[in-house]
Structure 1
Amino acid sequence: MNWKITGRFIVNVVIVAIIVIIVDIVGGIIFLSIKNRSDINIINGNSYSSAEDFTRGFNEYLIKDKDKVYIHSDGEDILKREEAWIQVLDEEGNEVYNYGKPVKVKNHYTPVELINAYKYISADSMSTIFISEKELRDINYSYIIGFSSERINRNVISYDVYNLGNGLKTGLYIILLIDTLIALLFGYLFSRRLTKPLVGIINDVKDLSEGNYNLKRGEKGIYKEVYYNINNLSSKLRSNEEERKKLDKMREEWISNISHDIKTPLVSVKGYAEILSSEEYDCTKEEVREYSKIIEDKSNYIKDLIDDLNLSTRLKNKVLVLSLKNSNIVSLVRRVVIDILNNPQTSNVNIEFSAAREVIERDIDEILIKRVITNILYNAIVHNGENVDIEVKVEKKDKVHIFIIDNGRGIKEEELNYIFERYYRGTSTGRRHKGSGLGMAIAKDIIEAHNGTINVKSELLVGTKIEIIL
């Protein structure tokens, strides 16, 4: 994987480098061609593009009058403006006219001297000259126009076209080879620097996929945001894993407890059933009734546990269909409180009930809402004892609010986050409590199935306040 990523970056860098080199070469050739033309443009305000063109076009200013050759006054003005001079020669190479000629310039030229003067800058004139001719009255006159060598310069180059082409081709290959090697070197170094963090990121993702959530990377460089997200993901996965382990432990403990809670009454049922069915025992009617009542109670207890499991599963999987109807919540909550107070086991508990008004209606499933209130009230009793004071209130604001407040032991902060979890049993549960551990989870699921919310606040040695909003 490392070499794959690095290789891709190297190829991209090399391709870009080669394209840039080719564009530079072509652009350089075009630029030099244009520049060479523009550098010799010496004419201001006319159509001439070079000194050669200027010289050839200057013949229109040459005039011959009565065997006298001279230039028009406009030509003189142009020469002044261009800081140039002119020398006119006859067919023998003798000077017949000059304007602005330097003092040391010759008055007679042989053909070879003209060629040398054209090719090289003479120390006498320090000028770069250009030569042209014009026929005046059947006589060909040559004329030389000189420009300051500081302004116009000429280098004469001789070359073999065939050898030059081969040399340029070889040089181009060498340049491309060297540039490619350089591009490969810098591309490799660049790619290594760029891809090394990517390899680390890939390894981090692999570690996360394998369950190693203890990652902490320095959040810096061009991958700062990626490192931040990896650290954040690692933290969340670690937290979720710890939570999962806690739930797994709670589930194991719950299965152990529920198995014990089912096994204990089953032992009683089995034992008393064996007594009643045995021929070795001669039970009186009172004993039969007593043993039958015990079997009934234990069977009911087992049935309640199984019902809790069934209801919890249906609520969790959201397959429970609510039987909604418009109901007076005040009357429903009041009936639950009365039923608890009429129960011989909880008749000594102090429960105060109040409502803001006698009729507060909502579309609810009465059986399930009754189950919620019952679960919460019994939790308040079994976790605090019969001496606890419980206040139950029903209020109508924007929604219906049901408050169940006790002054009991309270709930530890670390346990407060788990009271609505399945399989959870509080550490302060009384000995006579044999619940399934699903009561509060069932209550929360029922309220949420009604699109409501349930909130809890608690403080140790002060009490607990539970608010149901429908």
Structure 2
Amino acid sequence: MIRKRLAVRFALQMAAAGAMLVLLAAVIAIWMLGKFEDIEVSRNFAPLGISRLISEAGMDSQGLIVDPKLLRRLQEDGGWLQSLDGKGNVLQSFNAPNDLPTRYLPGQLIDYWIGNEPFPYKLGLWMQEKDGHLYTLLYGSRSRTKDLLGRVIDDGHILNHTILFTDSSLDLLNKIGGWIQVLDREGAEVASWRKPGDALTSYTLQELAMRAHNQAHYGIAMDSQFDSRTGLTWIIQYPMNQTENQASRAPFIQSEVQVIIIGIAAFLFTSFIVFILLSLWYANRFGTPILHILGWIQRMGEGDYTEGNEGKGRNRKGIWKRKYRIFGEVMESVHSLAVRLHAGKDAAEQTQRNREEWIAGVTHDMKTPLASIQGYAHMLEAEKYSWSVEDVRRFASTILEKTAYMDKLLNDLALTYRLRSGEIPVHFEPKDIGILLTESALRAAAHPAFESREVHCSTPSTPIIVDVYPPWFDRIVENIVANGLMHNPPGTRIDIALIKLSEKGWRVDFGDNGHGMDQLTMERLFDRYYRGTNTDSAIEGSGLGMAVTKELVHAMGGRIEVNSRNGQGTVISIIWDA
């Protein structure tokens, strides 16, 4: 059972940990996708970034776009945005310079857009719907070097693969920290000015297009212009960080790769933290009860059978706490073992005490008759006395009486052990238990020592036939009657009743009106180690009569019970349930 519970518990907890890691991976993946989108928006701010910002922007009561974030991003990008109506009128402007018109004629705007008419800005035109309104958006940006490139082409003079400029053009070029290259129709370099050592000397169509489109990837801004008069292409490049005279180079790690590395590192780190926390939780959840059990077992080995730590494994109601409940069977088994060991220890100590008391009692019971025998023997041996025949016979009678008592004591001791081990083979025979009980009770009551006591026996009119061993049954009745009459004052009455049980079986009650017994005496009444009576009080008192009685009752398949209180008499019942 505990194996199944542990397997289920570990499976559920591993599943929970896996679900947590999946959730963590999903969160990191969402973050990475957001970062990828931000990178793509940064690279393609128009129209992708602007479309996204407008879709997230709010609207005022007049249907105008309200978004400070859009304005801030336009300022960072260096561009501007205008919203136009169907007739070309400007409805709303964001970061727009002063030289922009407030109305665009339809044909004129198209010429600006496709380049048929000169316009100082690169234009982007698209339409976007938001909240049921269709917006015509015009985006523009001015290149930092577009005008400078035209001046450089007009002012530059190529001489021996070198380009010469006037001082005013040199001042403008120095401010941006860039360099100039001139390419022929095949893309090979014809001349250059301040070109870095790692710059290309020849460009393919694809290479030139990639560097113009994905400038952030290379970390270098670039503008180019074809001179139709000479058939040459002029290129101006400069570092995007605008640091003077710093050689431009591509980033060591691309932005997407950086995001992936950060995402993987975050997942590994958080997974490590999750497993550390899970390990600590497991150590507390499973280690604590295991250590508690091991400590409990160790204390039991040292003779301390208590749970220890003030029973911290249980709550105030005595129920195992949650973390200990999974090991409930083990804890209960250890608890049962502790109870049994403690009971065994107490029983061993009690046995030792009983043995000592028994030895003291038997020694006393043996010494008393031996002292009498020894005394009479010395008297008979003494030469200074001349005993008559009657004296010798009286002495001999006393010696025989004491030796008979010792013989009975030894026989009772042997009988109790033989009954306990089942070494006495007997043959049970059917008898009328009422007749057998009456005869045994009368014989026991006829002893001269009990002349002042009364014994009454009542049996049912219907005979009760049972299989018993008559000598043993007679000994049981004799011992119980003798015990009740011997240990109670003169005038004591014993009432014996044979009762047929309602279902099956029968019972005999021996009730007296004597002074009763206390709890300790009842508990030890049938203890064979309990000290016997003084041999001077009665010859029948071997001290083992009730122990023999209990063993005989058990040997014949019955049980014996005692009910007594001080001053209220005693009832001893022998019961056969079948």
| Cα deviation, residue 374, structure 1 | 1.1
Higher relative contact order (CA 8 A, sep 6+): 1
Residues 433 and 189 of structure 1: CA distance in aligned 2, closer, same or farther (over 3 Å): farther
Matches within 5 A, 1:39-438: 106=110, 122-126=124-128, 174-175=265-266, 177-179=268-270, 181-194=272-285, 195-215=287-307, 216-218=310-312, 219-220=314-315, 221-223=321-323, 226=328, 229=332, 241-242=345-346, 244-273=348-377, 275-276=379-380, 282-357=386-461, 359-397=463-501, 398-424=504-530, 431-432=537-538, 435-438=541-544
Matched AA of 1:293: S
Counterpart Cα distance in 2 of 1:103 and 1:376: 134
Matched AA of 2:480: I
Structure 2 unaligned blocks of 5 or more: 1-8, 37-105, 116-121, 130-135, 138-213, 219-249, 316-320
Matched AA of 1:375: N
Does 435-444 or 405-414 show the bigger shift?
Answer: 435-444
Matched AA of 2:410: I
| Cα deviation, residue 281, structure 1 | 5.8
Matches within 5 A, 1:24-43: 25=25
Matched AA of 1:369: F
Residue of structure 2 equivalent to 1:443: 549
Residue of structure 1 equivalent to 2:97: none
| Cα deviation, residue 369, structure 1 | 1.5
Q: Deviations over 1:74-114 (max 9, x none)?
A: xxxxxxxxxxxxxxxxxxxxxxxxxxxx9999589879xxx
Matched AA of 2:563: K
Matched AA of 1:207: R
Counterpart Cα distance in 2 of 1:339 and 1:326: 21
Residues 350 and 434 of structure 1: CA distance in aligned 2, closer, same or farther (over 3 Å): closer
Q: Report % sequence identity.
A: 25
Counterpart Cα distance in 2 of 1:403 and 1:232: 37
Structure 1 unaligned blocks of 5 or more: 1-8, 37-101, 112-119, 128-147, 150-155
Contact 2:433 2:465 in 1 (8 A): yes
Q: Name the TM-score, length of structure 1 as normaliser.
A: 0.61
Residues 126 and 451 of structure 1: CA distance in aligned 2, closer, same or farther (over 3 Å): same
Counterpart Cα distance in 2 of 1:104 and 1:260: 139
Counterpart Cα distance in 2 of 1:175 and 1:383: 90
Contact 2:445 2:481 in 1 (8 A): no
| Cα deviation, residue 434, structure 1 | 7.2
| Cα deviation, residue 180, structure 1 | 5.1
Q: Deviations over 1:59-80 (max 9, x none)?
A: xxxxxxxxxxxxxxxxxxxxxx
Counterpart Cα distance in 1 of 2:107 and 2:420: 115
Contact 2:21 2:271 in 1 (8 A): no
| Cα deviation, residue 243, structure 1 | 5.5
Secondary structure at the residue paired with 2:126? coil
Contact 2:361 2:530 in 1 (8 A): no
Secondary structure at the residue paired with 2:426? coil
Q: Deviations over 1:334-392 (max 9, x none)?
A: 22222223322223321112211374221011111111111111110111033211111
| Cα deviation, residue 413, structure 1 | 3.1
| Cα deviation, residue 173, structure 1 | 6.6
Secondary structure at the residue paired with 2:479? helix
Contact 2:533 2:542 in 1 (8 A): no
Residues 468 and 434 of structure 1: CA distance in aligned 2, closer, same or farther (over 3 Å): closer
Contact 2:516 2:569 in 1 (8 A): yes
Counterpart Cα distance in 1 of 2:349 and 2:421: 22
Q: Deviations over 1:433-460 (max 9, x none)?
A: 7744432232223222222222222222
Q: 1:464 aligned to 2:555?
A: no
Q: Name the TM-score, length of structure 2 as normaliser.
A: 0.51
Q: How many residues align?
A: 363
Matched AA of 2:521: E
Counterpart Cα distance in 2 of 1:103 and 1:360: 132
Counterpart Cα distance in 1 of 2:108 and 2:293: 81
CA root-mean-square deviation: 4.9
Residue of structure 2 equivalent to 1:84: none
| Cα deviation, residue 202, structure 1 | 2.5
**Structure number with larger C-alpha Rg:** 2
Secondary structure at the residue paired with 2:372? helix
Counterpart Cα distance in 1 of 2:426 and 2:295: 50
Residues 172 and 298 of structure 1: CA distance in aligned 2, closer, same or farther (over 3 Å): farther
Counterpart Cα distance in 2 of 1:261 and 1:343: 22
Contact 1:357 1:395 in 2 (8 A): no
Contact 2:498 2:508 in 1 (8 A): yes
Matched AA of 1:372: I
| Cα deviation, residue 313, structure 1 | 1.2
Does 198-207 or 222-231 show the bigger shift?
Answer: 222-231
| Cα deviation, residue 404, structure 1 | 1.0
Residues 405 and 121 of structure 1: CA distance in aligned 2, closer, same or farther (over 3 Å): farther
Residue of structure 1 equivalent to 2:207: none
Contact 1:406 1:464 in 2 (8 A): yes
Residues 192 and 355 of structure 1: CA distance in aligned 2, closer, same or farther (over 3 Å): same
| Cα deviation, residue 245, structure 1 | 3.7
